[in-house]
Amino acid sequence: MAANFGFKTNATPFLMLAQSLPLNIPTRHKDNLTQLEALFFGQAGMLDDDFKDDYRRELQREYDYLKKKYQLKPIAPHLWKFLRMRPANFPTVRIAQFAALVHKSIHLFSQIIETHSVKEIDVLLDVTASSYWDTHFQFDAPQKQVSPKALGKSSVQNIIINTIAPIQFLYAARQDTHKLQERSLQLLEAVPAEKNNITRLWEDNGWQAINAAQSQALLQLYNNYCSSKRCLECTVGLNIIRSEK
């Protein structure tokens, strides 16, 4: 889930951030949002500079205490990417949203496994970054316009496609529960198809996905066959070649 909150650009540092914190530590502090934010921003390496605003100073004080208590080591701050990104996707905003998710969730893994409709997942992922981020995209850089930083619809759909449905399917496979496997696939069928450069290539060639299950299949085919020029090993590729002949 953490890697998915980094989306494509910051998936790796987000994963490293999550792996730098033993799971029991955020669990102990999940009732205190400030401490959660201090843990996540501190481990992200974002609390080391001199600060202007009180919010960041408070996070730094909390993190200094927790870092010593748990002997934590943050990741390198240069790993985070901000360039050529929409401000709403800045890692600072995503970390604050992730802290809000951990803060509000009870037994998150169980909820992910037991949730089988887009409506239920919308409720589960209905999170908004804390009020400081209403007027900020980065620390010490206030904005005039007030805009609460909620997780958007497209972000929720991305998390369903790349985290929730795959985790449900894997868990069902390990438990040998075919009904749950079917439900995870049905969940993908209930989400709109992804739109990106690869799916547009398929559309240009007459293959249009109508839901996320189909767009995932087309991405898989492209990444494992088309890009490696393995047309003769691909049923779709063979059919195209035969039809051209």
Rounded Cα gap, residues 40 and 18, in angstroms:
8
Question: How many Cα atoms occupy the beta-carbon half-sphere of 74 within 13 Å?
Answer: 22
Q: Report pLDDT for 81.
A: 97
Domain ranges in the chain? 2-159, 192-245
| pTM assigned to the model | 0.91
CA distances from 173 to 83, 176, 216 (A): 40, 5, 19
Q: Report pLDDT for 245.
A: 64
What pLDDT tens digit does each residue of the chain (245 aa) get? Answer: 999 999 999 999 999 999 999 999 999 999 999 999 999 999 999 998 777 789 999 999 999 999 999 999 999 999 999 998 999 999 999 999 999 999 999 888 999 998 889 999 999 999 999 999 999 999 989 999 999 999 999 999 999 999 999 999 999 999 988 888 999 999 999 999 999 999 999 999 888 999 999 999 999 999 999 999 999 999 888 888 888 76
Cα–Cα–Cα angle for 126, 127, 131, nearest 5°?
140
Q: Which two tokens stand for residue 244?
A: 């051209």
CA 13 to chain CA centroid, Å, is: 12
- Residue 218 has a CB neighbour count (10 Å cut-off) of 21
